[in-house]
């Protein structure tokens, strides 16, 4: 008899083992120079996974940091966004009609996601046809 703090078989232990939820987006969440590492990850146990059957973990673009933020979406209407992410071009601010364009096209009277999606579509058209920037070609 004694305290051994050991188990003899897996049946002797019941644990909520953390599961890596995976991700969508770039593979690595941290970089310095040429070193890229996946430091950050989303973990959950099987109880959480059963409670949230639909989820999506996204590695977002890094802004002013060498870490990419992680977003966990547990909504039922998850969609993967196709194409390139929206990028704001600082040069747009110098265009004479840009502020007027934004005031006319950016309307938060509706759902914010719908408003931003609509604005993104409008600004891509404006960027190509008014501002004249076509983006880089690969």
pLDDT of residue 77: 65
Q: Residue 137: its pLDDT value, please?
A: 46
Instruction: Assess whether pLDDT exceeds 80 at residue 72.
Output: yes
Whether 72 and 88 share a structural domain: no
Average pLDDT of the chain? 80
Residue range 76-87: average pLDDT? 66
- The Cα 54–Cα 52 span in angstroms is 5
* pTM for the full predicted model: 0.48
- How many helices (H) and strands (E) are present in the chain, helices listed first? 3, 6
Q: Does residue 45 sit within a domain?
A: yes
Instruction: Residue 44: give the domain boundaries.
Output: 11-76
| pLDDT value of position 98 | 92
Question: Is residue 2, in this structure, part of any structural domain at all?
Answer: no
Residues 6+ apart with CB under 8 A from 45: 16, 17, 18, 19
Q: Which residue has the higher pLDDT, 15 or 53?
A: 53
Tracing tokens 């060498």 back to the chain, one arrives at 66
């Amino acid at each position: 008899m004694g305290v051994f703090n050991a188990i003899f078989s897996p049946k002797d232990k019941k644990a909520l083992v953390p599961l890596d939820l995976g991700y969508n987006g770039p593979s690595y969440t941290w970089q310095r120079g040429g070193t890229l590492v996946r430091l950050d990850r989303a973990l959950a146990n099987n109880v959480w996974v059963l409670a949230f059957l639909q989820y999506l973990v996204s590695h977002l673009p890094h802004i002013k940091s060498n870490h990419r933020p992680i977003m966990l979406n547990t909504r039922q209407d998850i969609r993967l966004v196709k194409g390139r992410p929206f990028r704001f071009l600082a040069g747009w601010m110098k265009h004479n009609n840009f502020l007027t364009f934004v005031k006319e096209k950016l309307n938060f009277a509706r759902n914010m996601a719908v408003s931003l999606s609509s604005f993104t579509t409008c600004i891509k058209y404006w960027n190509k046809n008014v501002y004249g920037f076509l983006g880089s070609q690969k």
